[in-house]
Chains A and B, each alone.
Chain A
Amino acid sequence: MLERVLAAEFLKLRRSKITWISWLAFSIMPLATGLFVWIVKEPGRAAQLGLLGQKASLTGVTADWPGYFKLLNQAACAGSMVLLAIIVAYIFGREYSDGTAKNMLTLPVGRHWFAIAKLIVAIVWFGALLASIIAEGFLVGTWLGLPGLTFTLAAAATGRILFAGLIGYLLVPMVAWMATLGRGYLPPIGFTIFMLLMGNILGATGWGKWFPWAIVPMLAGMAGPRVEVLAPGSLAVVGITFFAGVALTIWQLRFGDNTQ
């Protein structure tokens, strides 16, 4: 049955505007990162460009591949946490906002299959977005003629973005649960914003490794010093969050009142 539900879910995704809007939003990241690197590449350009030039200088980015990747990684991590939440909020929440949840839940299909299929659709789409920005990142960096690209550096940067993306993905079942519990888009998006704020606070106070929403910013160096390797405790916290989110989403679909 999973393949039938997946086919239906992919058709819904293909036909929705948010699919292409999320791709457009994501594809801006390498361009914006490239713009900052281009600004700091020529001495004096930052001063000529006023506020934008000042902003580029403040990022501390260097005009080489390591600096470019570092900034791209931060942008991808920050963007993916928010964008992933929006994608998942949409995939689950639209069933309530469009009033189709009641149709979905009265089909001869186990309700858990919908939760699983939607989470698979989310990771496939998110994976495609990540692959797209990595490829675009290489194109932009090459076009800028940055020095210092080695295979090891490229592999490490790609791996870092993908790993942070994977860790970010493991948090989204909780977002899915909030969408089913709150029956729409807004509760999961509000939940994500709140958790990201908490992540920043806890990351800055040294508790970040125990708080799932602080771990991705820590990997990107956005909440305290950049963490190179996640502690086993952090991995366990993220793993528990994932399984708890999946279980709660299925429980909500199966046992919760759907009074949409």
Chain B
Amino acid sequence: MPAETIIATHRLAKHYGEVRAVDGIDFTVRRGEIYGFLGRNGAGKTTTIRMLLGLVRPSAGDVTMLGTRIRPGQQSVFARVGCLVETATDYPNLTVRENLNIQCKLTRTPYPAVDRAIALLHLHEYAKRPAGQLSLGNKQRLSLARALLHDPEVLVLDEPANALDPAGIVEIRDLLRHLADKRGVTIFMSSHILTEVAHLADRIGIVHEGRLIEELDYDELRAKARQYVEVVVSQPERAIALLQQQLGITRIEQTVEQRLRMFDGLDRVAEIARALVNDGLELTGLCAREEDLEDYFMRMTGGAA
């Protein structure tokens, strides 16, 4: 039996005059799923997230979350939703604990939840410090603690790993995975750290110029990712001409500086090396690889690679 749909959008759109910030997006997120929402700056990620949370009214289409259509003034659903939109922001004059106390009060959550959230996000030593005096990373932790405080069924997180150090990123990744796997929390997250999304998301949506251009899970990504041979070679233009003429390899892309990717001749690695070296070119790297999410994302959104 398919898992219950927790978030669904139907032809969701937001237009600002002639600008189509979001242009008819349809997606669904199922219970316990981590959905990674990717896009370049200005692709429409944050506008979509704002519409999911009722902060911006759609120009067309609608959002349903936990079976409730999100409308202006429809606030009761947020008792079951935690969120972090764009930058981490809390009341700067209030301490960490006071910020969380306010969240408790307004979500009708018992106060012991504050201690649990402080422990979970490792904020003990900052509990009495005004939020305005925290480092960016700890501000992010405080905002995540606020989002998690009332034990939500759904988390909508815009760049949850922002400003965190590498250990913090791993820690939050593990926490989100635990919430999804053990507690069935549904997570909709945007991120520009593609390796994070690749590690974490069960399904990935790629948004470009306001449209959802691709939706795929990890297995589909693997299936769609192209194999290639990458060489690092001096005089790449000469190398390209040589490979085309001598070996008939035509699908060659230069990525950065002296790096070439060949999508033909995957079984001819030894021949490629011999041809380049025999021609007097300096070969400093050669390996067979597969596109990762970053490569795939760049290809889909019209970037390099």
Contacts and interface: CB of A to CB of B under 8 A. Distances in A.
B79 interface: yes
Contact of A103 (B90, B92, B93): B90
A100 B73 CA distance: 18
27 contacts: A4-B105, A5-B106, A7-B105, A11-B94, A12-B91, A15-B91, A99-B89, A102-B85, A102-B86, A103-B90, A103-B146, A105-B54, A106-B54, A106-B55, A106-B81, A107-B75, A107-B78, A107-B103, A108-B77, A108-B107, A108-B108, A255-B57, A257-B57, A258-B50, A258-B55, A259-B47, A259-B55
A257 B56 contact: yes
A254 B50 contact: no
Contacts of B102: 8, 11-12
Interface string A89-106: 000000000111011011
The 7 closest A-B pairs by CB, nearest first: A99-B89, A108-B79, A15-B93, A108-B78, A258-B55, A8-B102, A257-B56
B94 A12 contact: yes
A120 to B, nearest CB: 16
A166 interface: no
Interface of A: 4-5, 7-8, 11-12, 15-17, 98-100, 102-103, 105-111, 254-255, 257-259
B53 interface: yes
Nearest to B51: A257
B83 interface: yes
Contacts of A107: 75, 78, 103, 106-107
Contact of A99 (B87, B93, B105): B87
A133 B108 CA distance: 39
B70 to A, nearest CB: 10
A105 B101 CA distance: 17
B89 A102 contact: yes
B72 interface: yes
B76 interface: yes
A183 to B, nearest CB: 12
Interface in B48-84: 50, 53-57, 72-73, 75-79, 81, 83
B98 interface: yes
A254 B72 contact: yes
Nearest to A1: B106
Contacts, number: 83
A145 to B, nearest CB: 42
B50 A259 contact: yes
A166 to B, nearest CB: 29
B75 to A, nearest CB: 5
Nearest to B21: A259
Contacts of B94: 11-12, 15
Contacts of B79: 108
A257 B55 contact: yes
A107 to B, nearest CB: 5
Given A111-B73, A254-B72, 15 more contacts: A8-B105, A8-B106, A12-B91, A15-B91, A99-B89, A100-B89, A100-B90, A106-B55, A107-B75, A107-B107, A108-B75, A108-B108, A257-B56, A259-B47, A259-B50
A67 B54 CA distance: 56
B98 A110 contact: no
B282 to A, nearest CB: 52
Interface centre among A105, A106, A255 (most CB of B within 10 A): A106
B45 to A, nearest CB: 13
A53 B305 CA distance: 79
A5 B87 CA distance: 24
A109 B106 contact: yes
A189 B166 CA distance: 44
Contacts of A11: 94, 98, 101-102
B98 A15 contact: yes
A15 B56 CA distance: 30
A253 to B, nearest CB: 9
Nearest to B94: A15
Contacts of B57: 255, 257
B102 to A, nearest CB: 5
Nearest to B14: A257
Contacts of B72: 254-255
Contact of A111 (B75, B77, B86): B75
Nearest to A114: B106
B108 to A, nearest CB: 8
Contact of B56 (A99, A108, A259): A259
A16 B130 CA distance: 11
A98 B89 contact: yes
Interface string B227-270: 00000000000000000000000000000000000000000000
Nearest to B73: A254
Contacts of A259: 47, 50, 55-56
A103 B131 CA distance: 15
Contacts of A108: 75-79, 106-108
